[in-house]
Structure 1
Amino acid sequence: MNLVLNNPEHQIIEEAQVIESDRKNFIEANTLQVDLEHLKNECIVPVFSKDNECTISHYEFIKYTEDVIADVLSNSIQLEEQIRVSHIVKGRIPSAIGKPAKDLSEQEKTLYYERMAFVIEIPQISQVINGNRLNLSIGGVRAYNQENLYGKKSIEKFKVFIGFQNTVCLNLCISTDGLAESIRISSIGELKSKILELINGYDRKKHLENLQELSIYSINQDQFAFLIGKLKMYQYLSKEERKDLFPLSITDSQITSIVKDYYSDEFFCSIDGTINLWKLYNLFTEANKTSYIDNHLERNVSAYEFIKDLAKCLKSGEPNWFVYNLTMANSAF
């Protein structure tokens, strides 16, 4: 995949139709925002305890991803990352052993974050969908809780994605082919190779076409209410009953958030009870921001595939367990 920046086809901007808003976070949950220098200079690097071999640090992961992007773009552009971290692990230097915590100086404290997620936006490659500017974005997740740090150095796990970020709300739009959720590597070279492989395998044109199509189809208030009821019921179905249904990944509190935003979201609420699937999709991805870092990307992809499946059924009139009277909703919004 060649991310050409000077091709007009890759930057379809209709300024009069673009909705702007204050910047938000691409994930909330219990995360904190940090910068790259903090990860580089103020965080220790965990090791595998049996042989004291270093893991690949959060800082290295982000920098190597930026290196791959720079190589692919072959353009001199300034990359700006958004970094969110959670589950801080605190420690202290050996000379501070036994010292009361309240008396520790900053130089005596150590820390690192168990989980980290980052997004690198590439605003030079963007498109407007339903009045929302989407910027191409590449990022990843590292969760040390998924590593066996008590053993010897072993294969390390990373998650990397490429997709789009809605600049209105910073919701991520990630497709199945834009996510590598289980990259396992033993060296930096392998990591960079896997990131490049993901970028080359991502079908940006198809993804954008699918996102654009979501705004064509809509559901009314009765269908939305039916959908919410089915989402609530789905969580309590047996494994056998779920077998032939879409494998949805969503929590009860996120469903509640979707209902709230259906009425009150500034950009994606319904109008007279009717909501198109593009807006519904953004209600799902907005609710997904409350997911923990280590399952945020998978749930984001699940939301995309679920809404895309609804659009397919609306288009064909096929029955769907989650929504009734599909043929009545096959109208533009």
Structure 2
Amino acid sequence: MELITRSPLQNQMVEEKEVVSSKNRNFIEANTKKVSLEHLKNDCIIPVFAKDNESTISHYEFVQKTREIAQDLFPEFSVSEPDIRTSHIIKGRIPSAIGKPAKELKEHEKTLYYERLAFVLEIPEVVENVNGNKLALTIGGVRAYNQENLFSKKSPEKFKVFIGFKNMVCTNLCISTDGLADQIRVNSLNQLSEAVENLLNQYDRMKHLGMMERMSRYELTQAQFAHFIGKLRMYQFMGKTEQKQYFPVSLNDSQINTVVKNYYHDPNFSRKEDGSINMWRIFNLLTEANKSSYIDNNLERNVNAYDLTNDLVNSLQNRIGNFFLHN
């Protein structure tokens, strides 16, 4: 994969003082805890398949192997330390601590692992400027043990891996359809390595950047935005058969509320004075709202936000009907 650090996409740049930096914000917020790679390696047990006691691929192995592959594929750049978020802690204790009150447990008597994990790795030297925002090339993945049948014999394990960008203004992830592999099923760490490498090699970075740059060329009036939000709300309550007639929407009702709130109040992506808002800002309102999604469906919803935005842009560009924009 050939990478360049200077982008031709410099359209519609804004002054840096107009952008509110969010260095302390997380790429995902919902019910998650930040942990270190060393913590995963040294402090967490590894779940097994119950019927044959075969080990799963550990969270540590997944993160570390992905980082090694990223560094091998991009040797001219440095890969950051992983930013790791976990949720749904599974606690236990060693056999000798059976019957002890929890408050009397010593540290060596406790066991734990996390049911769900998400992580990102930045390549900070590869930064693009799209629509006035700095985007850093980012690689990451998700592992959710709740999607495995750990009560059976060893079977292929599921992983999700992505490559895309992180908006440095707001830490929103920008992931395209071809930048996400959400159905990786492997039996070994070697198979996982091959799947990660295949995804990174096939990703079309310049196409992704071009599609995001295009978003800023089209906008909705305040009335059109209100119509869009109303149709999103209607979609939530349609029957499954009726929903299939329209472009799928993954965000839930509370997340749509967040989109509306940020339309008025987001420091970087809110409406203009006349109430209009371009599609790049709408895309970031959607991905910002998606941060409240649980780890196990966060990446799919992020890609859905990207696809939905591009579907709207296509309708505006080609002047064709769209359920979410027209009566």
TM-score by length of 2: 0.95
Q: 1:112 and 1:222, CA in 2 relative to 1: closer, same or farther beyond 3 A?
A: same
Secondary structure of the structure 2 residue equivalent to 1:98:
coil
Question: What is the aligned partner in structure 2 of residue 245 from structure 1?
Answer: 246
Taking only aligned residues, the RMSD between alpha carbons, in angstroms, comes to 1.8
Q: 1:11 and 1:222, CA in 2 relative to 1: closer, same or farther beyond 3 A?
A: closer
Question: What is the aligned partner in structure 2 of residue 63 from structure 1?
Answer: 64
Moved more, 103-112 or 233-242: 233-242
Q: Which amino acid aligns with 1:248?
A: V
For residue 54 of structure 1, report the CA deviation from its aligned partner: 1.0
Match of 1:298 among 297, 300, 303: 300
Q: Which amino acid aligns with 1:208?
A: L
Identity %: 56
Question: What is the aligned partner in structure 1 of residue 282 from structure 2?
Answer: 280
**Contact persistence 1:20–1:167 (CA under 8 A):** no
For residue 53 of structure 1, report the CA deviation from its aligned partner: 1.3
Matched, 1:118 2:116: no
Alignment of 1:81-160 (within 5 A): 81-160=82-161
Alignment of 1:218-257 (within 5 A): 218-257=219-258
Q: Which runs of 4+ in 1 moved over 3 A?
A: 7-20
CA–CA distance in 1 between the matches of 2:94 and 2:227?
57
CA–CA distance in 2 between the matches of 1:287 and 1:76?
31
Secondary structure of the structure 1 residue equivalent to 2:136:
strand
CA–CA distance in 2 between the matches of 1:321 and 1:307?
13
Q: Tell me the alpha carbon deviations over residues 228-271 of structure 1, each in whole angstroms, 9 at most, x when there is no partner.
A: 11000001112232222101111000000000000000100001
Q: Which amino acid aligns with 2:279?
A: L
Question: What is the aligned partner in structure 2 of residue 8 from structure 1?
Answer: 6
Moved more, 17-26 or 35-44: 17-26
Q: 1:202 and 1:145, CA in 2 relative to 1: closer, same or farther beyond 3 A?
A: same
Q: Tell me the alpha carbon deviations over residues 89-119 of structure 1, each in whole angstroms, 9 at most, x when there is no partner.
A: 0000111011011111111111000000000
For residue 14 of structure 1, report the CA deviation from its aligned partner: 11
Matched, 1:32 2:33: yes
For residue 40 of structure 1, report the CA deviation from its aligned partner: 0.8
For residue 13 of structure 1, report the CA deviation from its aligned partner: 11
**Contact persistence 1:130–1:212 (CA under 8 A):** yes
Question: What is the aligned partner in structure 1 of residue 259 from structure 2?
Answer: 258
Question: What is the aligned partner in structure 2 of residue 204 from structure 1?
Answer: 205
**Contact persistence 1:120–1:139 (CA under 8 A):** yes
Q: 1:185 and 1:314, CA in 2 relative to 1: closer, same or farther beyond 3 A?
A: same
**Contact persistence 1:10–1:126 (CA under 8 A):** no
Q: 1:78 and 1:11, CA in 2 relative to 1: closer, same or farther beyond 3 A?
A: farther
Secondary structure of the structure 2 residue equivalent to 1:271:
coil
Secondary structure of the structure 2 residue equivalent to 1:169:
coil
TM-score by length of 1: 0.93
Secondary structure of the structure 2 residue equivalent to 1:278:
helix
CA–CA distance in 2 between the matches of 1:16 and 1:227?
27
**Contact persistence 2:138–2:166 (CA under 8 A):** yes
CA–CA distance in 1 between the matches of 2:223 and 2:136?
34
Moved more, 43-52 or 138-147: 43-52
Secondary structure of the structure 2 residue equivalent to 1:164:
strand
For residue 152 of structure 1, report the CA deviation from its aligned partner: 1.3
Question: What is the aligned partner in structure 2 of residue 214 from structure 1?
Answer: 215
Q: 1:78 and 1:72, CA in 2 relative to 1: closer, same or farther beyond 3 A?
A: closer
Q: 1:169 and 1:221, CA in 2 relative to 1: closer, same or farther beyond 3 A?
A: same
Q: 1:189 and 1:11, CA in 2 relative to 1: closer, same or farther beyond 3 A?
A: farther
Q: 1:78 and 1:242, CA in 2 relative to 1: closer, same or farther beyond 3 A?
A: closer
**Contact persistence 1:10–1:125 (CA under 8 A):** no
Q: Which amino acid aligns with 1:21?
A: S
Q: 1:16 and 1:232, CA in 2 relative to 1: closer, same or farther beyond 3 A?
A: closer
Question: What is the aligned partner in structure 2 of residue 174 from structure 1?
Answer: 175
**Contact persistence 1:11–1:126 (CA under 8 A):** no
Q: How many residues align?
A: 323
Unpaired segments ≥5 residues, structure 2? none
Secondary structure of the structure 1 residue equivalent to 2:82:
strand
Secondary structure of the structure 2 residue equivalent to 1:168:
coil
